Amino acid sequence: MTETEYLEKTGAEPALEIRETQISNGDPAFSSGIFSQFFELWRYRELAIELFRTHLKLRYVGSFLGFVWTMLNPLLYVATYWFVFSYIIRMGLPNYPLFLIPGFLAWNFTFGSVVTASESIISSKYLITKIAFPSEILPIISVAVSLFDFLVSMGLYLLTVMILPPALPPQTVLLPVIILIQVVLTVGLALLVASTSVYFRDIPKLVQVFGNLIFFVTPIFYPLSFIPERWQPVLGLNPMTQIITFYHELLYDWTWPDSSAVAVSAVIAVLFLVLGLWVFNRCKHGFAELS
């Protein structure tokens, strides 16, 4: 077979081969198609990179402060929470900003990703109906843009802590592992909301409202230990609870997290990714028609 005779099938590969008579909703694309899906994504990696750059570039078009907003936004929030929880409602935690910042940035990463991802497919309607490309790229880019902000601001935070008296805890070495787990979880959530909101346009709004609600029942500006013990398992149902707690343990408490807890978190994150992919693959055949 010469190069030009290379076989390319359009659309979702397995679905085309299997479905001689099947109806479009509910096809078994996932089980057999996952590898071709990753192959397809790999083939379009240059598009993903180029779109990622574009999104970074376009974010602050026409804004005077531009990239400064990436730093300024979380800083203003942190300053507000710092003021409220140190001077109005006294949390009683020494060096409160050091406690607050890492968890807050981490939360911002996941929440920001999911919010933009929920609109990513709907708002790219004109692309999806006119060009053939793997639509998974869109929610993944939402995550990538938020991750970029998170890494920059986290890097600045660590740098500041390193220079100023508190010094960097040795536990920082474990930070990439926690971030990786969080990225996997976030991609799963992003795929989930991006694909379902094509069918239910309320989802982006629900994400906003519930996200703000969940923010308060996630130990971000308070430690988990402040919650009565019998309620702690309820908070634990939220996968972000454990992840934010890891950040607190590593960067504020200077303790090594329980390895089994890390393992459980990783498994949950992977399960969310699988769920997100599965739902996305079931939904994506309708994108070009419904969006």
Binding site residues, other proteins, CB under 8 A: 3-12, 15-17, 19-24, 43-44, 46-47, 50-51, 54, 57-58, 61, 126-133, 199-202, 285, 288-289
Q: What is the rounded distance in angstroms from the CA atom of residue 93 to the CA atom of residue 97?
A: 9
Q: Least distance to other proteins from the beta carbon of 237, Å? A: 23
Whichever of 19 and 77 has its CB closer to other proteins, that residue is 19
Q: How far is the CB of 68 from other proteins (least distance, A)?
A: 19
Structural contact between residues 142 and 116, judged by C-beta atoms closer than 8 angstroms: yes
**What minimum distance in Å lies between the beta carbon of 4 and other proteins?**
6
Closest to 135 measured CA to CA, from 143, 150, 125: 125
Number of neighbours of residue 7 by Cβ within 10 angstroms: 5
Nearest CA to 172 out of 276, 118, 251 is that of: 251
| Angstrom distance (rounded) from CA 231 to CA 224 | 10
Whichever of 86 and 208 has its CB closer to other proteins, that residue is 208
Q: Which is nearer to other proteins, 132 or 164 (CB)?
A: 132
Q: DSSP letter at 256? A: P
- Of 175 and 282, nearer to other proteins (C-beta) is 282
Nearest approach, Cβ of residue 204 and other proteins (Å): 12
Helix (H, G, I), strand (E, B) or coil at 100: helix
Q: How far is the CB of 31 from other proteins (least distance, A)?
A: 17
Residue closer to other proteins (CB basis): 127 or 270: 127
